[in-house]
Amino acid sequence: MSRKKLSRRQFVAATALTSAALISAPFVRSARAAGTLTMGFWDHWVPGANKASTDLVNEWAAKEKVEVSIDYITSQGNKNLVTIAAESAAKSGHDIMAMPTWWSHAQSDLLEPVNDIMEPIIKQNGEVNGTVQYLGQLDGKWLGVPACVGSQIKGPCSRIDLMKKYANIDVQEMYPAGAPPKADNWTTDTFLKAAEACQKGGVPFGIGLGESSDNVDSAGAFFLSFGAQLVNAKGDLTVKTDEVRQALEFYKKLIPFLPPDVAAWDDASNNKWLIAGKGALIMNPPSAWAVAKRDAPQIAEQLWTHGFPAGPKGRFAPFLPYFWNIWNFSKNKEAAKSLLVHLSKPDSIERLVVASGGYDLPAYSKLTTLKVWEEQGPPKGTLFHYPNPYNHQTLSIAASPAPPKIAQQIYTQALQTKMCLKYSQGEKMEDVLAWAEGECEGYMRS
Amino acid sequence: MVDVAFQPNSVAPARSTRKRASLRVALKRKSTAAFLMTLPLILLVGILVVYPAFYSLHLATLNKSMQRFVGFGNFEFLFKRETFWMVVKQSCIFALSAVFFKALIGFVVAHLVHNVPAKGQRKWRGMLLVPWVIPPAMSTLAWLWLFDPSYSAFNYTLSFFGIGPISWLGEPNWARFSVILVNVWFGAPFFMIMYLASLKSVPEQLYEAAAIDGANWWQRIWYVTLPMMRNIIAITTLFSLIVTFANFDITRILTAGGPLDHTHIFATWAFRVGIEGSDLPLGASVSLFMVPILAIAAVFILRDINKRGNEA
């Protein structure tokens, strides 16, 4: 075996070359991060929920040896929307940005496609619901990863005692904890009768008709349950249809049974209405129940979250997902993707859901039966049907299935609640439809 | 001058000395010092006002996805929208009525305070300024609770007299009344303090002369006070008109433009369309629409002030 001797010259040259290579090479850490990975997450209103996100991110950062920085951005006063708009205009900002509902489509030109990570995530966690696909995909391209943080269903939250007393409806029997719903009779007709009975009993349903999200979401689900679309999936105007007329007729019958000031309701009004013990039903995620548990426990123990009433065209419930999106101007795309895969692991999702007290909803089919929803109470099982565990209702969003950029305008301008108000206040049906058609035409500008 | 004769390149140093001297003189000039001292502010205004203004002009000429130049296309689109003209009408109603009542109340209260003996006047001035010094977002939240659709303190009080309940924010006309009322409440102290300062500068001799001529209370106001306050009235009106036209927080917090868009004004509508609706160019166009209106108002008011200044 011959041994090759290293000459002094060769040693000096090799050392110089290695040093030069080390100095000139970019500082690459694990997970292919270039500098600090920054993220703008939605600031959760459940105390302690942000900490679960922080812990998960830090665990990943420690494992991958990546520096991270998290900003929790509130949706109060639409601060998150303003931040998204600013970062989009400046083409600079966080690497990952949590965007609600329509914003992935609104910013689609500036988002990094995440198909490469979505495929394995879906394989692991199960299929996503139709609304997540509608809001998160464009021409087969995933614009973001569905975030469970902030995602919610705004179904009915009823008072067990008042519904029994005035409407003769046992909501616990209809939606039993731990068992499939027995809600075949829970239809829009039954809903109208119950609304009338509760109004006569002095505890009207608290369904707003203002211009904020809660109001629009309820109207959107009812419209869909009548098959009413203002613009169809192809982008054609479908305002002047019998389905839309039926939906307006339904609301015209419903509005007299609601509190007289619903036109001015915002997203806090229905919560206050329920927690103050003034109404028998609202449409909301379990935040109203969670606040009642703290501030009015005697009310909280009478609350039951359940499914929407079915209309002639099916049973639809509003689902509002958040997405974690990566800007295409981010310098840390690979690290960002690695983090999002970590946050989308079943264990991570469960930790996030538990930290939110069951408020946050995963979009994946295998993750709608976590223990947390079974255990929450009082009353025990109050949230069992919140994540739609039996796919009993179609999860939807108001203004769908219109192309998302048009639907966003319909939603933001609260066109459906305005139509309901106009018609109920005495405007002629055809005038309301003509007005709405004109508005929709305006939303179609590109 | 002897040493100069020995220097071969005497011209250049002389020039630089002159330059240094002129720089020193320039720096010593009051106007230069003033300019340098205001330079940070000028830069701030440039960055925070001028640049965004030009950027919004640029935005207003782009299509919805901000990729194509459309010239006045956004304005053409807006002019065909029924809701836009409703917003224009409402903005005018909101700004003109709010400024009128702010000026009227400010004028009356300024007179009342002016007539309070000097000893207690400071206390009154301080108390009356409170609405103006509280950040409007905070005070409007308090008003929101007073008007709250379901738990209105006003309705509770009115119920003792068998009146109501009034849907303060749910019925279009009441909602308009409510946002104007809060704006007047917030802005009237500004008028009051400006008018009070102006009242204090009216020479007492003029009133004495008017009294000798037998002028009554109304004639003293009409022929002495008002002419002496004209410039202040014009400037405060212009200033308030601009601020009120551009108001956002009060309407946004109280009604967010509802019900049925009946309280939207330019700023809230621009926010709805631009930020919430992801259509920044259209939002920019909505907010820019008020520029010519305010510019015309400013030209007329300032021209009037100039004319009076020259007469004086």
B150 or A42: which carries more pLDDT confidence? A42
Q: Report if residue A25 sits inside a domain.
A: no
The lowest-confidence range among A62-76, A134-148, A184-198, B210-224 is B210-224
Quote the pLDDT of residue A15.
61
Report yes or no for ipTM above 0.85. no
Q: Report if residue A176 sits inside a domain.
A: yes
Average pLDDT on A158-186 reads 95
DSSP secondary structure code for residue B81 in this structure: -
CATH number of the CATH domain containing A177 = 3.40.190.10
Residue type, A147: A
Q: Which residues pair with B69 in a beta bridge?
A: B62
CB of A325 within 8 Å of a chain B CB? The answer is: no
Tokens matching residue A408: 């966003």
Kindly state whether residues A344 and A242 are assigned to the same domain. no
Kindly state whether residues A392 and A288 are assigned to the same domain. yes
CATH number at B75-311: 1.10.3720.10
Residue-wise pLDDT tens digits, A273-330:
999 999 999 999 888 898 899 899 999 999 999 999 999 999 999 999 999 999 999 9
Range of the domain at A141: 33-152+320-375
DSSP secondary structure code for residue A110 in this structure: G
B8 or A64: which carries more pLDDT confidence? A64
- What is the average pLDDT value for chain A, to the nearest integer? 91
Kindly state whether residues A340 and A389 are assigned to the same domain. no
Kindly state whether residues A364 and A287 are assigned to the same domain. no
Closest C-alpha to B237, from B298, B177, B292 = B298
Closest C-alpha to A255, from A418, A424, A423, A416 = A424
Tell me which chain A residues have a C-beta less than 8 angstroms from the C-beta of B276: 78, 81, 412
Q: Report if residue A11 sits inside a domain.
A: no
Quote the pLDDT of residue A33.
58
How does residue A170 score in pLDDT terms, banded at 50, 70 and 90?
very high
Q: Report if residue A5 sits inside a domain.
A: no
Per-residue pLDDT of chain B (312 residues; tens, 9 = 90+): 334 444 445 455 566 666 677 777 777 777 888 888 999 999 998 899 899 899 999 999 999 888 899 999 999 999 999 899 999 999 999 999 999 999 999 999 999 998 888 788 888 888 888 999 899 989 999 999 999 877 888 999 998 998 878 889 989 999 999 999 999 999 999 999 999 999 988 888 898 999 898 989 889 889 999 999 988 998 899 889 988 998 999 999 999 998 999 999 999 999 999 988 889 999 999 999 988 888 887 888 778 777 766 554
- Which of B150, B155, B179 is the mutation pick for testing A, counting most A CBs within 10 A? B150
| Residues carrying CATH 1.10.3720.10, chain B | 75-311
Quote the pLDDT of residue B295.
85
Kindly state whether residues A62 and A144 are assigned to the same domain. yes
Rounded Cα–Cα distance for residues A272 and A292 (Å): 9
Find the chain B residues whose C-beta atoms sit closer than 8 A to any C-beta of A: 63-65, 67, 77, 80-83, 149-151, 165, 167-171, 175, 255-261, 272, 274-280
Rounded Cα–Cα distance for residues A158 and A162 (Å): 8
Quote the pLDDT of residue B123.
87
Cβ–Cβ below 8 Å for A442 and B150: no
**A420 to chain B: closest CA residue:** B260
Residue-wise pLDDT tens digits, A329-387:
999 999 999 999 999 999 999 999 999 999 999 999 999 999 999 988 899 999 999 99
Average pLDDT on A21-39 reads 61
How close B288 comes to chain A (CA, Å)? 18
How close B280 comes to chain A (CA, Å)? 8
How does residue A25 score in pLDDT terms, banded at 50, 70 and 90?
very low
What are the CA-CA distances from residue A388 to residues A45, A160, A341, A379 (Å)? 22, 19, 24, 18
Q: Report if residue A10 sits inside a domain.
A: no
Rounded Cα–Cα distance for residues A233 and A214 (Å): 23
Distance of CA A408 to the CA centre of its chain: 14
Q: Report if residue A121 sits inside a domain.
A: yes
Kindly state whether residues A218 and A337 are assigned to the same domain. no
The lowest-confidence range among A29-43, A78-92, B146-160, B173-187 is A29-43
Kindly state whether residues A397 and A338 are assigned to the same domain. no
| A322: enclosing H helix or E strand | strand A316-326
Tell me which chain B residues have a C-beta less than 8 angstroms from the C-beta of A264: 149, 167-170, 175, 255, 258-259
Dihedral sign computed on CA atoms, order A133, A137, A140, A145? negative
Tokens matching residue A390: 């039996």
Kindly state whether residues A100 and A200 are assigned to the same domain. no
Cα B82-B86-B87 angle, rounded to 5 deg: 120
Q: Report if residue A240 sits inside a domain.
A: yes
Kindly state whether residues A171 and A224 are assigned to the same domain. yes
SS3 state of residue A312: coil
Domain boundary among A375, A397, A416: A375
Kindly state whether residues A176 and A129 are assigned to the same domain. no
| A112: enclosing H helix or E strand | none
Global confidence as pTM? 0.84
Quote the pLDDT of residue B15.
64
Q: How many domains in chain A?
A: 2
B29 or A173: which carries more pLDDT confidence? A173
Domain boundary among A358, A375, A392: A375
B42 or A47: which carries more pLDDT confidence? B42
The lowest-confidence range among A8-17, A102-111, A401-410 is A8-17
Cβ–Cβ below 8 Å for A438 and B82: yes
Cα A325-A331-A332 angle, rounded to 5 deg: 65
Compute how many other C-beta atoms are within 10 angstroms of the C-beta atom of residue A32.
15
Kindly state whether residues A399 and A264 are assigned to the same domain. yes
Q: Report if residue A289 sits inside a domain.
A: yes
CB of A260 within 8 Å of a chain B CB? The answer is: yes
Kindly state whether residues A204 and A336 are assigned to the same domain. no
Cβ–Cβ below 8 Å for A85 and B151: no
Quote the pLDDT of residue B217.
86
